[in-house]
Amino acid sequence: GGIMLFGVPAERDATGSGGIDPAGILNVAIRDVAAEVGDATVVMSDLCLDEFTSHGHCGLLAPDGDVDNDATLAAYAEMAVAQAAAGVGVVGPSGMMDGQVGVVRRALDAAGYADVAVLAYAAKYASAFFGPFRDAVESALQGDRRTYQQDPANLRESLREVELDVAEGADMVMVKPALPYLDVVAAVRAAVDVPVAAYQVSGEYAMVEAAAANGWVDRERVILETLTSIRRAGAGIILTYWATEAARLLRESY
């Protein structure tokens, strides 16, 4: 198993500098957690600027208000090295910028962190299922992310994105969200020979919890059924907010 860390800073700015600052909340958290768990589990981190920018976008903005892909890549490279220096074992570039995996991989290698793995958010959709998470991290998003996240109707472009990430050096690729995109998970699994992950996102979690709270579904059975469906579709790694509970349920079941 493993854990993935996200940061919610007290202050944000236009360039998301808190994500690169060694004293920023996420880098401090990485150091603290890595020091505590050692080799007992894998410490992963979100590599994106959205939680650190005052505008809430995953990248730096050009004067016209659009996301500047290439300027963002330079920031991602710095952020990756900062997280590696803090002690992370896996970085998860999640901003869906073109070329992000290659830039991150080269930056890590050049800085002497060749053993830090890259979990590429290769097919991340512009989804309505992210809502509860954005509330939890107090997102400052202005507008939407449809210009750089995937169109929910488009499978072929997602497969092309996955292939590009693998070619750029991704150690693992991820589909996000999971349940509404099980067909994508299966298609990605068939297309690549690296580990495939799926992110069971906040909206998926919240729907089950709300239905269970109303007595409409058997909560524990539904948790395991959703996770099984993701595994059955081909994901070898699942990011879920039920991770520790699911581990207990699985031990009790088997």
Give me the active site residues, please. 124, 176
Taking the mean position of all CA atoms in its chain, how far away is CA 118? 11
CB 113 within 8 A of CB 82: no
Instruction: Provide the edge-to-edge strand list for the sheet that holds 2-5.
Output: 2-5, 42-47, 90-93, 117-124, 172-176, 196-199, 237-239
How, if at all, do strands 90-93 and 117-124 pair?
A: parallel
Phi-psi region of 81 (alpha: psi -120 to 50; beta: other; left: phi over 0): alpha
CB 1 within 8 A of CB 243: yes
